[in-house]
Amino acid sequence: MVDYRPGLDGVIATQSSISDIDGKKGILSYRGYSIEELAMESSFEEVAYLLIAGQLPKKNELEKFKSAINEYQNLPDNLLVLLNSLPKKSDPMQVLQLTAASLGSFYSLEFNPEKTKGKEYTLDYFLDIAAKLIGSIGSIVPAWQRIRFNKKFIAPQRHLNFADNFLNMLNNDYKPSDLVKRIMDATFILHAEHTINASTFTAMVTASTLSNPQQVISSAIGSLSGPLHGGANQKVVAMLEKIEKKENVKNWLENTLKEKKVVWGMGHREYSVKDPRANILTTMTQQLFDEKGDDVSDLFDTAIELERACDAILSKKGVYANVDFYSGILYKEIGIPVDLFTTVFAVSRVSGWVAHWAEQISNNKIFRPTQIYQGSGNRKYININDR
């Protein structure tokens, strides 16, 4: 009998050199570099280059890549017309998926499947595609935030890096501190890649059909939008707001576990210890709250108490805080609207998706899993008048 693994749990679907996880030790690395070192020392643009090229860029290579991303952050007028034509109540992830799929109409994203047979695509080609997708998708999110509230699009500034431009394009009246800028850059790095998760697998399946890169990214965005994947940090904030304050944590957790409901932001299929990205975000959240002093919400104290209570009960089952538990708190405190959280995740993950697209088409075979049929046996068609 064929071995059936619900959710493809543990099924090896590909070989990859992009990222690696040791769930028992709590280790995540991109191309062999630890996530802790990259988050503290690198930049999002450098990490995006690393994921796609397989190596860290030289100074001139990084400057060229950053310049290209910045160029494509300035959205074409017709793309802004498209965004302005959408109903203002549209969900940001639906807007992002729609516009991502349309990018081939505004940019040259030529992809000829015949070239993959001779492996004629070069690193420069993939970096160019990445710059177009990262730059434009990174601007669609803040552009939509402004457009839906009848505000004008803010063009990117050449002297700002990707994360700084993102914050400025959201709200140029907001003057973030150096710490906030660093946190934004680091969160883009932390969400850039995470092996074969649901959205990355979706990207790989679409890539295996030799679809265009914008269609690959659009399909991945659709997969990311669900609360069991990219939407989890929105659920975390809603959960913490429902708890209200740290004094309510114990009773809330007991009732939630008794009713077998989800504690959002807790547990990860890949980790039996605390998610290393959550460790980094915990530190950054504390730094931000220290900087802001009394001008913070009760979310962080509530989150710390909830994590402590969960550790006492759930750690014996290998359930610890994951990246979503603290990313939502950080986004909220630096002024990012809750319904944009998942779009920020998508902006971050474009670089990882492009890296997997490039890897998939370099040694491609279309995905075609099988099934165990459990339906009816042979049946005879009955005319509609005799049913």
What is the set of active-site residues?
268, 324
Q: Distances from the Cα of 124 to the Cαs of 52, 118, 119, 131, 247, in angstroms?
A: 10, 16, 13, 10, 55
Q: Is 75 left (phi over 0), alpha (psi -120 to 50) or beta?
A: beta
User: Exposed, middle or buried, 321 (CB in 10 Å: 0-12/13-18/19+)?
Assistant: buried
- Neighbouring C-beta atoms of residue 157, cutoff 10 Å: 15
- Neighbouring C-beta atoms of residue 57, cutoff 10 Å: 18
- Neighbouring C-beta atoms of residue 34, cutoff 10 Å: 13
266 secondary structure, DSSP code: B
Helix, strand or coil for residue 321? strand
Which residues contact residue 241 at a Cβ distance below 8 angstroms, ignoring those fewer than 6 apart?
299
Rounded CA separation 316/319 (Å): 7
Rounded CA separation 251/129 (Å): 51
Which ranges of the chain would DSSP assign to H, the alpha helix? Answer: 35-41, 44-53, 59-73, 77-85, 92-102, 113-117, 123-147, 162-170, 178-190, 198-208, 213-224, 232-243, 249-258, 276-292, 299-314, 323-333, 341-362
